[in-house]
Structure 1
Amino acid sequence: MAKIERTATVSRGINKTIIYVVCIGLALLSILPFWVMFVNATRSTAEIQSGLSLIPSTHLKTNWDVLTSKSFDPLIGFLNSFIISATSTVCAVYFSSLTAYGLVVYNWKWRQTFFTFILCVMMIPAQASAIGFYQFMYQLHWTNSFLPLILPAIAAPAIVFFMRQYLLATLSLEIVEAARIDGSGEFATFNKIIVPIMMPAVATQAIFAFVASWNNLFMPLILLTDKSKYTLPVMVSLLRGDIYKTEFGSIYMGLALTALPLFVIYFLLSRYIIAGVALGGVKE
């Protein structure tokens, strides 16, 4: 019996070691492209063309000077991206949570049909409706404004779906009934009782919504024409002038500046992503 237990212990140890090695290898493969990007931001064009390197170089300041010598203004791009991303994230998370609350708490005739319609909307890519959306914004004279990049976030089908599943797993309808008996209004109940219950899911979806809005290139590139309103991804995509055609280090510097805030957000709030996904996938 003791021999069998020792064999089982050794087998578990080997399996655990294999799992750790595979996970560490996959993590390194995921990190490698970003590390190469940050390293190339410190290298000159000649060094980048000479081959791959994982060791930072000494041309960081030179690349920065070349990058900011023309139309690239990282401060304006950062502020524009932050305004759009933060505002659209608040709109997406709050109104999607409110919609999910209505789908779970209220029992009305077309509830399942409405939810099915939301799922169908998730299957339509933004590119398919881009022409019609641009024409509509042009008629409203919003083609050079942040509004068409913020207001559509109110309708976020994927976030509605996630929030609904989360509420089905965690929300007890007796809490809502008790609040109504105590005289609480519907919006007061949602804001003061339901939102705190949904906070792990709210934090998770806020991170994903912020990252998606920050990385959005397609619609800002179409709608924004004033250089003072460009976002960071748009500025980086337009690094094609004569001075940048041979300055690969400066281009990598622009890419690194675009990605750096997202790394900071992920490192600071990663625990909310894990908690939100875990809780949202458990049905009690």
Structure 2
Amino acid sequence: MIYRKIRTKSVLYHICVLLLALVMIYPVLWMVSSSLKDSSEVFVNSHKLIPSVWKFENYVQGWKGFGGHTFAVFFKNSLLITIVATIGGVVTSTLVAYGFSRVKFAGAGFWFTCMLVSMMLPGQVMIIPQYIFFQKMDWINTFYPIIVPSFFGMPFLIFMIMQFIRGLPVELDESAKIDGCGKYAIFFRIIVPLIVPAVVTATIFKFYWMWDEFFGPLIYLNKPELYPLSLALKMFSDPDTTTDWGAMFAMSVLSLIPVVIVFILSQKQLVEGISTTGLKA
């Protein structure tokens, strides 16, 4: 009797999980299905996941791009922006997090408070000052306004990595000091190898944010040859003419491939980093 109850609960649990999984994955399935439909069918029979006519040529048509530039150009731009900004953001955020967590210096509390305030500050507040600053730097229509700010650390990533570092025993630093290690040696030889899960988690977050970045390129980039994927996909939608929805969804599906690959390759570290961040040793 007890075994039957346990089995019934297990079956109900798996059914609920399966239903929730279908609800969550349905938008992706709908997008993949729409990428293989004719544009006229996308919204007419939107509830149908199986196209009436399979149009694989949507991928060929979408890859041609617009303005004389194929989607290979937009993929290259997105990869360049994302990779460089991710490396810069994670490296600097890790260094700043180590400084706040392990290094004693004057005004540490004040600067930490400033960092928290900047994390809570709406991004819209900084749009006009930043645009004026980058315009005076002659950085409009370049990748610099999108990439360079990441090299000054990201408040959320700093805070997340700080919680991980604070969970490491301080005795490790003291032992390293006895062996003659300085602050940088402790950081690179002791701290960095132990915070790999947190660094990987920060890398994934930053990669996702930069890959999906839309507002920055929309403001600072006016040349089609500089567009990343996020902005190029928006250009498919033209209110003055007929929008090729099939081609747009086809390119949207392709734009998900790098994100899915990154998640599959690093999901173990991602789960470990999220589950252990903030725990005290």
**229, 249, 254: which one aligns with 2:251:** 254
Q: Residue 32 in 1 paired to residue 15 in 2?
A: no
Match of 1:64 in 2: 60
**51, 55, 59: which one aligns with 2:50:** 55
Residues 218, 45 of structure 1: alpha-carbon distance in 2 compared, 3 angstrom cutoff: same
Contact 1:162 1:280 in 2 (8 A): yes
Contact 1:217 1:233 in 2 (8 A): yes
**100, 103, 108: which one aligns with 1:103:** 100
Match of 2:160 in 1: 162
Match of 1:225 in 2: 222
Q: C-alpha distance in 1, partners of 2:193/2:65?
A: 47
Q: Residue 209 in 1 paired to residue 206 in 2?
A: yes
Q: TM-score, normalised by structure 2?
A: 0.90
Compute the displacement of 1:45 (Å). 1.3
Q: Residue 199 in 1 paired to residue 199 in 2?
A: no
Match of 1:136 in 2: 133
Matching of residues 233-248 of structure 1 within 5 Å: 233-241=230-238, 245-248=242-245
Greater alpha carbon shift after TM alignment, 77-86 vs 19-28 = 19-28
RMSD in angstroms over aligned alpha carbons? 2.1
Greater alpha carbon shift after TM alignment, 102-111 vs 66-75 = 66-75
Compute the displacement of 1:262 (Å). 1.1
Q: Please state whether the residue corresponding to 1:283 is helix, strand or coil.
A: coil
Output the amino acid matched with 1:92: G
**15, 38, 46: which one aligns with 1:21:** 15
* Structure 1 unpaired stretches of 5+: 1-5
Compute the displacement of 1:175 (Å). 1.7
Match of 1:3 in 2: none
Q: TM-score, normalised by structure 1?
A: 0.89
CA deviation vs aligned residue, 1:86-113 (integer Å, no higher than 9, x gap):
1111111111111111111123453233
Compute the displacement of 1:26 (Å). 1.6
Q: Percent identity?
A: 28
Count how many residue pairs are aligned between Structure 1 and Structure 2: 277
CA deviation vs aligned residue, 1:100-129 (integer Å, no higher than 9, x gap):
111111234532332222121111122221
CA deviation vs aligned residue, 1:171-220 (integer Å, no higher than 9, x gap):
22222222223222322321232111110010111011001001000011
Contact 1:44 1:63 in 2 (8 A): no
Residues 23, 116 of structure 1: alpha-carbon distance in 2 compared, 3 angstrom cutoff: farther
Residues 67, 245 of structure 1: alpha-carbon distance in 2 compared, 3 angstrom cutoff: farther
Q: C-alpha distance in 1, partners of 2:65/2:225?
A: 16
* Structure 2 unpaired stretches of 5+: none
Q: C-alpha distance in 1, partners of 2:218/2:110?
A: 35
Contact 2:96 2:153 in 1 (8 A): no
Residues 76, 48 of structure 1: alpha-carbon distance in 2 compared, 3 angstrom cutoff: same
Contact 1:145 1:223 in 2 (8 A): yes
Q: C-alpha distance in 2, partners of 1:94/1:44?
A: 45
Match of 2:39 in 1: 45
Q: C-alpha distance in 2, partners of 1:229/1:255?
A: 18
